[in-house]
Amino acid sequence: MSTTTTRAGGGASAGNRPGHPGKPGASEIVSWKAGIGLSLLAILGTILFAFLAGPKSAGFGIAETSNTGASTLAAWITLVLALVISAGLGYLWFVRRSGPGSGHAPVPRWIPACTVAAVIALCLAALGVAKVSRITLESGPVGWSCAVVLLALAGYSVFLTQAKKTTPRWVGGVFATVFLIGFLVWIVAHGNDAEPAISLAGLIAGSVTLAVPLVFGSLSGVLCERVGVVNIAIEGQLLLGAFSAAVVATVTHNVYAGLVAAAVAGALVSLVLAVVSIKYLVNQIIVGVVLNVLISGLTSFLFSTLLTADPDGLNKPGHLPPVDVPFLSDIPIIGPILFHQSLVGYLMYIAVIVVYLGLFHTKWGLRVRAVGEHPQAADTVGINVNRTRFWNVLMGGAIAGIGGSFFTLVSVDAFSKDMSGGRGYIALAALIFGRWNPIGAFLAALLFGFADNLQSVITIIGSPVPSQFMAMLPYALTVFAVAGLVGRSRPPAASGIPYVKG
């Protein structure tokens, strides 16, 4: 269902150029998918948050650091910096949109994203300065307020589509934020206690922890699919990485050697995938599924025969302790969550940044994306398509292997059968939901980790909402993403297609 705009007189003008938010170009089809998707979610939110609102209030605890003096100082410094940065970015955003020549160049995506991040940091710093330890929200008023906002945003999206204009990205961002607030209040207000409450900082911290292997797995998928290779073997890479990390760290009595071994193990799985699918042109999906089954059987056999027989000599890898980053770990709320991590957690941040900058801001990334979108054209300009694919698949495997080390070096100090628990497949879902973008995949993995952690919270507070509901939510969102109801989700054009030169 769509409407088509045409403009008399030929080409698109600068103010009506293709791709500009809210201003489609000549003969561009404006899809109804965003309006329909937001409307369905708004109706669902209205039923749950407003008509089925709990009779109790919902409490959200905010963790405090043990070093009160350092936390207060960090809160004030963060408040001032966030205020200055958000004001500067807001002014830059306004100038870019309304200044001379603004109709010819869109606002860079990093400006609104960084502005929103600065405003969030400002709000959290303000809570830290005010020493707010708990926030209590009445479920009824909050639910109805969220419902009204959701319906208004959905109606605005439908109105824009009817007027042959695309829905701007900020509508989706605000909609998602309001929906999340309403959902959390609705969940907590149905708890068994007289005044049900959860620790918001604990919920977010647990979500980040659970998302670590998902982020590494989804980054592996990004590197592979951006170059045209479908990596279904992420599950096997995570599992063999966990096994290798446990064994090598135990034998060498060095957890860092185990971390390196995990990366090598993941790369070895990718080596098989690359050779079989790129050189011998075997179906990439079949190869990935076979590798997952093979590694699951192999690690289970070795665990039963070797690791179980001598656990002290082969399955006591040690532990990577969490490390606090000076000053940053004292920032209220987000400091203990983001900057009290193990080495694997910090490597996750570095990997996301490096992969993003490499793909979209380097010559190497341009070649990679060219190979994934149009390998024939890349070949004509001198790019070795299959070699580029080969090395990208190896790098993706090494990254996934590091993610696997999280299970045995951070989460649990021993290897067990199939301990990856299907998270490689969840990473694939995060990859799709994140639209094959490192930042998007990172945020999608956090969403999946949030949903996973919320299952435990629901059980603890005694909410009547089935925990299985949270387990299915990320996959339902992925279906919405693939269907285009929350925006277009399109893989690289040559993904999964082998390339034969000539």
Q: The pTM is what?
A: 0.86
Could you tell me where the beta strands, DSSP code E, fall in 264-336?
Answer: 323-324
Task: Give me the sign of the Cα torsion angle 253, 255, 256, 258.
Answer: positive
Question: Quick one: pLDDT at residue 367?
Answer: 95
pLDDT at 99 over 90: no
Return all residues near 150 (Cβ < 8 A) that are at least 6 apart: 38, 41, 42, 45, 46, 175, 178, 179, 182
**pLDDT per residue as tens digits for the range 344-396:** 999 999 999 999 999 999 999 999 999 999 999 999 999 999 999 999 999 99
Return all residues near 454 (Cβ < 8 A) that are at least 6 apart: 187, 203, 207, 470
Alpha-carbon gap, residue 24 to 8, rounded angstroms: 14
Alpha-carbon gap, residue 122 to 128, rounded angstroms: 10
Q: How confident is the model at residue 27 (pLDDT cuts 50, 70, 90)?
A: very low
**pLDDT per residue as tens digits for the range 274-313:** 999 999 999 999 999 999 999 999 999 999 999 999 888 9
Query: What percent of the chain lies above the pLDDT cut of 70?
Result: 88
Q: Report which of 498, 481, 489, 402 is spatially closest to residue 41, judged by C-alpha positions.
A: 481
Q: In the structure encoding, which two tokens stand for residue 208, read together?
A: 């980040």
Alpha-carbon gap, residue 79 to 58, rounded angstroms: 27
Q: Which helix (H) or strand (E) holds 223?
A: helix 200-225
Q: Torsions phi, psi of 299, nearest 5?
A: -65, -35
102-107 average pLDDT score: 58
Cα separation values, 39 from 44, 90, 143, 266, 478, Å: 9, 30, 17, 43, 17
Question: Quick one: pLDDT at residue 195?
Answer: 84
**pLDDT per residue as tens digits for the range 388-408:** 999 999 999 999 999 999 999
User: Rg of the chain's alpha carbons, rounded to an integer?
Assistant: 24
Alpha-carbon gap, residue 404 to 233, rounded angstroms: 13
Task: Give me the sign of the Cα torsion angle 194, 453, 208, 113.
Answer: negative
Alpha-carbon gap, residue 459 to 4, rounded angstroms: 49
Q: How confident is the model at residue 185 (pLDDT cuts 50, 70, 90)?
A: very high
Q: In the structure encoding, which two tokens stand for residue 139, read together?
A: 């479920």
Half-sphere exposure in the Cβ direction for 315 (13 Å, CA): 19
pLDDT at 221 over 60: yes
User: Using an 8 Å Cβ cutoff, are 61 and 200 in contact?
Assistant: yes
Q: How confident is the model at residue 69 (pLDDT cuts 50, 70, 90)?
A: low
Return all residues near 450 (Cβ < 8 A) that are at least 6 apart: 203, 204, 207, 211
DSSP labels, 147-182? HHHHHHHHHHHHHHHHTT-PPPHHHHHHHHHHHHHH
Query: What percent of the chain lies above the pLDDT cut of 90?
Result: 48
Question: Quick one: pLDDT at residue 97?
Answer: 73
Task: Give me the sign of the Cα torsion angle 209, 210, 213, 217.
Answer: negative
Higher pLDDT, 365 or 474: 365
Q: Report which of 241, 295, 292, 266 is spatially closest to residue 415, judged by C-alpha positions.
A: 241
Q: How confident is the model at residue 191 (pLDDT cuts 50, 70, 90)?
A: confident
Higher pLDDT, 91 or 104: 91
Q: What is the dihedral of CA 86, 90, 91, 93, to 10 degrees?
A: 140
Q: In the structure encoding, which two tokens stand for residue 279, read together?
A: 């050189």
Question: Quick one: pLDDT at residue 434?
Answer: 87
Question: Quick one: pLDDT at residue 2?
Answer: 43
pLDDT at 16 over 50: no
pLDDT at 13 over 50: no
Question: Quick one: pLDDT at residue 403?
Answer: 96
Alpha-carbon gap, residue 423 to 421, rounded angstroms: 6
pLDDT at 110 over 80: no
Higher pLDDT, 102 or 448: 448
**pLDDT per residue as tens digits for the range 407-466:** 999 988 899 999 998 899 999 988 988 889 999 999 989 988 888 888 888 888 877 777
Q: How confident is the model at residue 320 (pLDDT cuts 50, 70, 90)?
A: very high
Alpha-carbon gap, residue 315 to 318, rounded angstroms: 9
Question: Quick one: pLDDT at residue 7?
Answer: 36
Question: Three-state SS for 5?
Answer: coil
Alpha-carbon gap, residue 216 to 239, rounded angstroms: 13
Q: Which helix (H) or strand (E) holds 125?
A: helix 110-129
Question: Quick one: pLDDT at residue 92?
Answer: 84
Question: Quick one: pLDDT at residue 307?
Answer: 92
**pLDDT per residue as tens digits for the range 33-59:** 788 888 998 999 999 999 988 788 999
pLDDT at 103 over 60: no
Cα separation values, 65 from 331, 335, 341, 455, 471, Å: 9, 9, 15, 26, 31
pLDDT at 165 over 50: yes
